[in-house]
Structure 1
């Protein structure tokens, strides 16, 4: 929200995370707002851009 220059979104993000409607990766939760690590999480796999292909990967 701060980065987007839309502070009114901060409460909505908090509510979504608090209610379990938005789930962040562990590095994002642990490292955002700190000087350690990066707030990113990587997962390397090739998935085509269709509902069928996403569903058929069995992730």
Structure 2
């Protein structure tokens, strides 16, 4: 039961972050940000995920 709870929580977390990146793109586009700014926003986000993954327990 606990494993199922962890799996559901992880899936919800991943979905919310995936949805968040798209929401930020639309928000920036709505506020007339350039494609470069939108791209840099995604770059920083995914770089942060990659660096954070290095700290995850193995």
- The two structures have a TM-score, normalised by structure 2, of 0.31
RCO comparison, higher one (Cα < 8 Å, 6+): 2
More helix by percentage:
2
- The two structures have a TM-score, normalised by structure 1, of 0.31
